[in-house]
Amino acid sequence: MKENTRKDRWTPEDDRILADTVIESVKNGGTQLGAFADAAEKLGRTKQACGFRWNKTLRKIHSAELEAAQKKPEHHLKSHLKQAMSGFDELSESYMRLKKEHEALAREHHRLLAWLSKGVSFIEKQDS
């Protein structure tokens, strides 16, 4: 991986790599922000520099390609599927965490009931 400290000008090849990376990412249901990170690795630049270059210069040039990529049915399906799977994963993790907490609380509840029962028995013996 290249170090992300370049200060040189953007070449036509750099622009092509950035544009291809963004368009491909959007076609596959990804985000432009994710594409900037991918392009940054390929180009040895920061994701902020890639985002700035895309938004300032290349977005206008590649607007038709970007619009076509955004309208692809696979894009929407993949995007919705990714969101659903992500939501499912989050719910599953939350469920498992709550289940463990519930089990711990149930054990503590039973321990306290036993302790109270012993206390009541002790007091009853004292009163007798």
The two tokens of residue 20 are 């291809």
- High-pLDDT (> 90) share of the chain, %: 69
Average confidence score pLDDT of the chain: 89
Tell me the three-class secondary structure of the chain, residue by residue: CCCCCCCCCCCHHHHHHHHHHHHHHHHCCCCHHHHHHHHHHHHCCCHHHHHHHHHHHHHHHCHHHHHHHHHCHHHHHHHHHHHHHHHHHHHHHHHHHHHHHHHHHHHHHHHHHHHHHHHHHHHHHHHC
The two tokens of residue 54 are 């895309």
Mean pLDDT across 54-68? 94
Mean pLDDT across 97-124? 96
Q: Tell me the whole-structure pTM to 2 decimals.
A: 0.53
Whether the per-residue pLDDT at 74 is higher than 70: the answer is: no
Whether the per-residue pLDDT at 40 is higher than 50: the answer is: yes
- The pLDDT of residue 109 is 98
